[in-house]
Amino acid sequence: MLKTKALIRLAFLGAAISWLIMVFADVTVLFSDLKGLDPDVPAWLPRVMLDAFILCLFYYYKLRIERDESLNFTDLLWKVFATGLIVTVISLAIRFLGFLLGNTPLPANVLYQDFVYQIDLSLFLSFLLAAFTSWKRLILYQKSKWLIRLWRVFEISLLVVLLYDSILVAFSEGVMTFTYIVIGVMVLILSANMKWVAYLNFRQKWTSLLLLLLCFFYLGYFLLTMSAEAEQIAEKSSVFMSFYGHVFNLVLCIFVLVYASFSFLVILFNLPTSSVFEQKLEEVINYQRISQSIQTEQNEESVYRILLESSVSSVFADAAWLEIRGEGSEAKTYTYQITEKESEDIRKHLQQNQVRGVLEQSSDRTRHLSKHLEGLKGARFRSIMSFPVIVKGETIGTLTLLKELPEAFTKEMTRIVSTFANQAGISIENFRLMGEAFQNERYKEELKIAKTVQRSLLPQRLEQDVDFEVAAFSESADEVGGDYYDTLRINDHQVGIIIADVSGKGTTAAFHMSQMKGIFHSLGQQALDPSEFMIRANQALVYCLERGSFISATYFALNTQTKKIHYARAGHCPVLYYRSATGELAYLKDKGTALGMIRSRDYCHFVETNEITYAPGDVMVLYTDGITEAKGAKGDEFGEERLVEAVRGHVHLPPKEIEQHIIRQLYNFSGSEDINDDYTLMVIKFR
Amino acid sequence: MVQIRRLQEEGADIIAIIGEIDASSSIELDLTIAKSVGEGFHKILVDCTALEYISSAGLGVFMSYIEEFKDKHIHMVLFGLKEKVANTFSILGLADLLHIRSTKPEAKQLLNELSV
């Protein structure tokens, strides 16, 4: 940044110094010539200094204008105009000074005239170079490789011409003509690059025209003034070289003039169509607005509003409405320049004429619609078109646009609005998908909480006794289930044990499980008979469980004094019992209906207390259906038989090891660690 | 996955369940029974010959209708249960609450006896 600034200053300084030297040298040469003396300075100095001046100025503008990215097209023209204004004002001021001096000898002095001429020349050149640099940017807007190459050739040719001017070597007429033709062709080709004009809006075009017109004025002024001055001086001195003798200046002047004229004409002829281009641009912007509307924390309503606004502004509709049918609820209508009553009237009228509400995009019903409108008395509209807003293949609303002129909607407009309506549909769909994803995420979070709750409901430690040892294992699937097991010391010689499975999954299951825990811990304390326990538990749960939900459970009351187990099975998986005395390993299949299935006092008929007398070495295996229903690789279930096999032969082991063996067998069978249900296993070994 | 078909025979609505009833497909079963009740059938036969598996949620569906059927004097008989399915019913104690027969004629007979 600093470097560029320094370079700009350096270039300007260079230009100023070379100009001063040039003026001094030129005046000296002229003075010597007039007096017939030998000049102290070499005759080539003014010309070389002019070259240096031009080059410095060229770089000055290159740095000032070409590198400035912030400039737009009108800014560029404005820069040229402003430079022109400044140089013209300075030139006029000097002329005014000459006029003030009036009849004094100074204005008639040829040296003074030369001095003024040199000032004018430098001013004119700076204006031309400013224009040249600006034109370059305009021409190279949307450049191609080929165009850049051509421009480079053009610039090099200009440099060559500049050098030719200074060395004063005369070429043959033919060479000169050829050079002129080549440069002329290049100027014409370059001047045909007018793409920037298309990007100007209506106002900018007018501004540009005005600025260009003023540039023509400056050009004209300088050309006239300088040729007059040059004539005056040339009369008096033979060594004076006029502007016209300088090929470079001439070429530069012609280039600036040609491009300015081309631009002027192109802009002028583009004026009538500029509104179309602007409209297209607005369509693109509107389209972007609709498609991006969803990203910036906006809601569906804003999408509808944007759709309505964009459609109206794109087709210059006089009125419009957007009717959105909510999910089941009443329709919502957004209007533009029309009352709800008016739109209601039109809708009713169309319905009466048996016109289907929404127009399919494929059909040309739009035209027919307008015809029907003619029949509506007192309506100010003569043209109508209507589009469905579709989300996930379902029409959620209708967009209707109205115009007061008959047949005012073109095919093009139909296409645009239908694109808008489609995009709005997509935006709404995305919006809803985002909402669903959010909901899913929340559900997952909820599940995580439910899982934590479920985990925390399971006992940290189990009751142990001199008479028996308890081991338990529980593993839950991704989806929270409702497996529950627990132990409770009732008194010195009595321990309650429960295993239960809540139907359903997720938070409700975890919730019912916690109820079960509460029931177990409160009823368990009372040393109830197991069937009484179940009857009361059922009574308590009837008011909490929703229709279709139930809990299967088995409750055991172990008495270490009598060495007896009383238990009641309420629809839970039968107990697997090993009798060490006989070596028998069997399921205890007895009567019992799950809790919550019978919601009346009749439940007492569906549950019973059973009794077992245990002996040391006996093993009791409790489990949930997740274990017996675990699926194997072939899709078959683990089943009761396999469970028996897994226990048999390991009954002599401590309960923890029996349990681990069963779980190992289970995982081997299912062939993966992924489980699709909860596994709960309790092994009680008596001693 | 489950497929549920309905057909009417001698004033009874026969609901045939083909496949497995799990938590998600139980909704379909629930809807089918509700529809049958809504259409005013008082005799419902559930054909379980092609029922491969039923989860607790599926059982919950049958269970949830027990009281409604009692109030509306609707009778439902299940038949053709596979051993595994029958076992699930009996473990949960639903076998005592629902009418279950092994064959269709037996089921029809029971239905006629109940309706009298």
Tell me the C-alpha distance between A215 and A221, whole Å.
Answer: 10
Using CB atoms, pick whichever of A501, A572, A606 lies closest to residue B96.
Answer: A606
Pick the residue from chain B with its C-alpha nearest to A592.
B93
Contacts of B42 (CB under 8 A, 6+ apart): B72, B73, B74, B75, B115
- Which residues in chain A are contacts of B57 at CB distance < 8 A? 503-504, 548
CB contact under 8 A, A591 and B93: yes
Residue A655 near residue A473, CB atoms below 8 Å: no
CB-based burial label for B77 (10 Å; 0-12, 13-18, 19+): buried
Confidence of residue A623 (pLDDT cuts 50, 70, 90): very high
A512/B contact by beta carbon, under 8 A: no
SS3 A362: coil
pLDDT exceeds cutoff 80 at A530: yes
- A607 to chain B: which residues are within 8 Å by CB? 93
- The pLDDT value given to residue A469: 93
Please provide the average confidence, as pLDDT, over all residues in chain A: 85
pLDDT at A239 over 70: no
Kindly state which CATH superfamily the domain A293-435 is placed in: GAF domain (3.30.450.40)
* CATH match of A458-686 with 3.60.40.10: yes
Nearest CB among B67, B84, B93 relative to A606 is that of B93
pLDDT tens digits for range A244-260: 667 888 889 999 999 99
Check: CB of residue A632 under 8 Å from CB of residue A669. yes
Select from A513, A569, A593 the residue whose CB has the most chain B CBs within 10 Å, as the one to mutate to test that interface.
A593
Evaluate if residue A600 carries a pLDDT over 60. yes
Residues of chain B with C-beta less than 8 angstroms from the C-beta of A637? 84
CB contact under 8 A, B96 and A591: yes
Residues of B in contact with A599 (CB under 8 A): 67
- pTM metric for this prediction: 0.55
Inform me whether the C-beta atom of residue A461 falls under 8 Å from chain B C-beta atoms: no
Distance, CA of A98 to CA of A105 (rounded, Å): 11
**Pair of tokens at residue A270:** 């583009």
B30, B84, B97: residue with CB nearest A597: B97
Tell me which of A57-61, A378-382, A535-539 is least confident.
A378-382
| Interchain contact, B91 vs A571, CB within 8 Å | yes
Helix (H) or strand (E) run with residue B51 in it = strand B51-54
A594 close to B (CB below 8 A): yes
**Site from B71, B92, B100 to mutate, A interface, most A CB atoms within 10 angstroms:** B92
Residue A329 has pLDDT above 70, yes or no: no
Residue boundaries of the structural domains of chain A: 2-276, 293-435, 458-686
Cβ atoms of A605 and A534 within 8 Å: the answer is no
Say how far apart CA A224 and CA A217 lie, in whole Å: 11
B96:A599 CB<8 A = no
- CATH number of the domain within which B106 lies: 3.30.750.24
Cβ–Cβ < 8 Å for A22, A118: yes
Interval A327-338 mean pLDDT: 77
CB contact under 8 A, A548 and B30: yes
> Could you give the angle at which helices A45-61 and A2-35 cross, rounded to 10 degrees?
160
- Per the CB < 8 A criterion, the answer to whether B39 and B6 are in contact is no
Under an 8 A CB cutoff, do A548 and B61 touch?
A: yes
- Percentage of chain B modeled with pLDDT above 90: 29
Q: Which residue has the tokens 């390991």?
A: A650
Per the model's pLDDT, the better-predicted residue between A116 and A242 turns out to be: A116
Verify whether the Cβ–Cβ distance B56 to A552 is below 8 Å.
yes
Residue given tokens 């439910």 in the structure block:
A450
Contact A550 B91 (CB under 8 A): no
- Largest pairwise CA distance in chain A: 150
Tokens at residue A635, please?
Answer: 């899709």
Element (H, E) at A372: helix A365-373
- Rounded percentage of chain A residues whose pLDDT exceeds 90: 32
Domain count, chain B: 1
Question: Percent of chain A, pLDDT > 70?
Answer: 93
Q: What is the mean pLDDT of chain B?
A: 88
Q: Chain B contact for A550, CB < 8 A?
A: yes
Place of tokens 């289970």: A666
Chain B residues within an 8 Å CB radius of A592: 93
Interchain pair A637, B67: CB under 8 A: no
Instruction: Give pLDDT tens digits for A134-153.
Output: 999 889 888 889 999 999 99
Answer yes or no: are the C-beta atoms of A65 and A138 closer than 8 Å: no
Q: Which residues pair with residue A401 across a beta bridge?
A: A320, A385
**pLDDT digit string (tens) for A94-108?**
889 888 887 777 777
**Do A551 and A569 meet the contact criterion of CB atoms below 8 Å apart?**
no
Residues of B in contact with A594 (CB under 8 A): 92-94
Q: Higher-confidence residue: A409 or B15? A: B15
Using an 8 Å Cβ cutoff, are A262 and A191 in contact? yes
State the DSSP string of A401-453: EEESSTT---HHHHHHHHHHHHHHHHHHHHHHHHHHHHHHHHHHHHHHHHHHH
Instruction: Provide the residue range defining the domain that includes B71.
Output: 2-115
Q: Are the Cβ atoms of A571 and B64 closer than 8 angstroms?
A: no
pLDDT in tens, A182-235: 999 999 999 988 888 888 888 889 999 999 999 999 999 998 988 888 888 877
Q: Is there a contact between B26 and B61 (Cβ–Cβ < 8 Å)?
A: yes
Q: What is the largest CA-CA distance in chain B?
A: 37
CA–CA separation, B66 vs A471, rounded Å?
A: 38
User: B interface toward A at CB cutoff 8 Å?
Assistant: 23, 30, 56-57, 59-61, 63-64, 66-67, 84, 91-94, 96-97
CA distance A341 to chain B (A): 42
For the stretch A432-479, pLDDT in tens is 888 899 999 988 888 788 788 778 888 988 988 889 999 999 887 766
Q: Find the residue in A nearest to B95 (Cα).
A: A593
Q: Are A602 and A638 in contact (CB under 8 A)?
A: no
- Summarised one tens digit per residue, pLDDT across range A35-84 is 777 767 777 788 888 888 999 999 998 888 877 777 788 888 998 999 99
The shortest C-alpha distance from A658 to chain B (Å) reads 24
Residue with tokens 């609450």: B97
A590 at B interface, C-beta within 8 A: no
* Residue A573 touches partner B, C-beta closer than 8 Å: yes
Q: Does residue A207 sit at the B interface (CB-CB below 8 Å)?
A: no
Distance CA A297, CA A291 (A): 13
> Coil, strand or helix: which one is A148?
helix
Supply the ipTM of this predicted assembly.
0.84
pLDDT tier at A670, thresholds 50, 70, 90:
confident
Give the neighbor-by-neighbor strand order of the sheet with A679-686: A468-475, A679-686, A619-623, A575-579, A584-588
Helices A340-352/A365-373 angle, 10° precision: 110
Report how far apart, in Å, the C-alpha atoms of A171 and of each of A44, A240, A250, A488, B52 are: 18, 21, 17, 120, 106
pLDDT recorded at residue A499: 95
Minimal C-alpha gap between A609 and chain B (Å):
14
What is the spatial distance between Cα A561 and Cα A654, in angstroms, rounded to a whole number? Answer: 23
Q: How far apart are CA A358 and CA A347, in angstroms?
A: 11
How many angstroms separate the CA atoms of A38 and A34, rounded? Answer: 10
Q: Where are the beta strands (DSSP E) in A17-144?
A: none
Closest partner CB to B67 (pick from A574, A599, A625): A599
